[in-house]
Amino acid sequence: MSRNFNLKNKPEHNTESRIMNKEIFKDFLIKYAEIGIKGKNRYLFEDALIAHIQSALSRVEGKFSVYKTPGRIFVSALEEFDFDETVDAIKHVFGVAGICPIIRLEKGDPEDLKKSTVEYMHKMYEDDLSCTFKVFARRESKNYPLDSMQINAVVGEVILGEFPNLKVDVHHPDMIVYVEVRDHIYLYSEIIPGPGGMPVGTGGHAMLLLSGGIDSPVAGYMIAKRGVSLDAVYFHAPPYTSERALQKVVDLAKIISKYTGPIKLHVINFTDIQLAIYEKCPHDELTIIMRRYMMRIAQHLAEECGALALVTGESVGQVASQTLASLGCTNEVTDLPVLRPLIAFDKQDIVEISEKIGTYETSILPYEDCCTIFVAKHPVTKPLRKIIERHEGNLSEVIDDLLKAAYETERIIEI
């Protein structure tokens, strides 16, 4: 059966499935997007990206060399390796726009290039491959007898001669065969999409408020995608919340750490603070007061670890504590910027991202959360700062000791 591909081999299209012979590859060209526009600091971003790719590959069997040449990052396998596992590891590295399995050729003379391209195409694709294509050559090193237009012409011609169902379309081809002439000649025609974003750590450090829900792991993923590394804090309320609920949060942190790199998870025992709020404050204000204490504690931990912002999974209007008035009221207790990447997302859109990044199945496990245990039937949706502050005053005799105890009993789990 002839394979008629409508997919284009741009990074946003997944063309991995049309690679027939993965065993012909031992080198990859890594495409990166926004790093390219960082001017003089570009090398910092490239070096961070290389370090993250190395760290991702350290979990994969085999030895790899990750290195850069001007404008390009390469991964070369130095021994036997598993193609799928390797690509999957690189796919989790923020900053990677695309992963191109490449063939590296000696420069030789143009006849060698023609022969090798034909060989490559036969190994990659079935002979009745039917779609449009073009050749896109770049000659970075001028000591090669053909310029890029000439390479396009001769390589295009030889491919047409071998694959009768291919047609040239220079404007909207289904497939592009890239020929890059540098220290070697690099040949590739498939770009497996990476996650995009910026290398983690190049955008500073933040503290994620990580609950066991659907939203906060997605929020952490999204901020890390912009290059921000994370610590996380979980407010635990034993015996009202179980060890299994804590384990669920640990599991979620593990899943997102595949993208974000190592996370320090701070587990704060919140029970006594919640009980005090329950005992001394009006019940319709429990949630908002509780959230204000979460923010205060998160800020304290953030300052200790050099985090410059707090991150939450809040979204306007999702629940009573996420009305604009409530968000304003929780913001007041911290000087740090509160990043809420999901603020304008519908729940369904958040669910889709959580499915894509692999947190959804864990997030929906039915373990209790500290917020749901001490929740009022009719929580305030328009809290007034003065009134909330007055009621928080009811805690004045106990709160310093309770906060001190919470910090003293903090547990740190390295993820």
Binding residues vs ligand ATP (CB under 6 A)? 209-211, 213-216, 233-235, 312-314, 318-319, 321, 369-371
CA distance 5 to 16: 12
Report the residue number, 213 or 383, with the smaller CB distance to ligand ATP.
213
Smallest separation (angstroms) from ligand ATP to the CB of 63: 40
With CB under 5 to 8 Å by kind, the binding choice for 354 among ligand ATP, Mg ion, none is none
Report the residue number, 16 or 272, with the smaller CB distance to ligand ATP.
272
Report the residue number, 152 or 211, with the smaller CB distance to ligand ATP.
211
Largest CA distance in the chain: 87
Report the residue number, 50 or 210, with the smaller CB distance to ligand ATP.
210
CB-nearest residue to Mg ion: 213
Q: Please say whether the beta carbons of 211 and 362 come within 8 A.
A: no
With CB under 5 to 8 Å by kind, the binding choice for 326 among Mg ion, ligand ATP, none is none
Smallest separation (angstroms) from ligand ATP to the CB of 200: 19
Burial bucket for residue 174 (CB in 10 Å: 0-12, 13-18, 19+): buried
Residue 176 DSSP SS3: strand
Distance of CA 359 to the CA centre of its chain: 12
With CB under 5 to 8 Å by kind, the binding choice for 318 among ligand ATP, Mg ion, none is ligand ATP
CB-nearest residue to ligand ATP: 213
Cis peptide before 239 (omega within 30 of 0): yes
CA distance 4 to 10: 17
Q: Please say whether the beta carbons of 403 and 270 come within 8 A.
A: no
With CB under 5 to 8 Å by kind, the binding choice for 209 among Mg ion, ligand ATP, none is ligand ATP
Amino acid type, 219? A
Report the residue number, 93 or 219, with the smaller CB distance to ligand ATP.
219
CA distance 355 to 37: 31
Smallest separation (angstroms) from ligand ATP to the CB of 229: 17
Residue 101 DSSP SS3: strand
CA distance 59 to 330: 40
Smallest separation (angstroms) from Mg ion to the CB of 314: 10
Report the residue number, 216 or 257, with the smaller CB distance to Mg ion.
216
CA distance 14 to 24: 19
Report the residue number, 44 or 351, with the smaller CB distance to ligand ATP.
351
Smallest separation (angstroms) from ligand ATP to the CB of 403: 16
Smallest separation (angstroms) from Mg ion to the CB of 215: 7
Number of Cβ within 10 Å of residue 346's Cβ equals 11
Extract the runs of DSSP E, i.e. beta strands, from 140-204.
166-168, 175-181, 185-188, 192-193
Look at residues 233, 281, 267 and name the one whose alpha carbon lies nearest to residue 396.
Answer: 281
Smallest separation (angstroms) from ligand ATP to the CB of 214: 4
Report the residue number, 105 or 294, with the smaller CB distance to ligand ATP.
294
Length of the chain: 415
Show contacts with Mg ion in window 176-215 (CB under 5 A): 211, 213
Report the residue number, 29 or 357, with the smaller CB distance to ligand ATP.
357
CA distance 363 to 367: 9
With CB under 5 to 8 Å by kind, the binding choice for 353 among Mg ion, ligand ATP, none is none
Show contacts with Mg ion in window 213-272 (CB under 5 A): 213
Q: Please say whether the beta carbons of 388 and 227 come within 8 A.
A: no
Smallest separation (angstroms) from ligand ATP to the CB of 325: 14
Total of chain residues touching Mg ion, rule CB under 5 A: 2
- Contact set with Mg ion (CB under 5 A): 211, 213
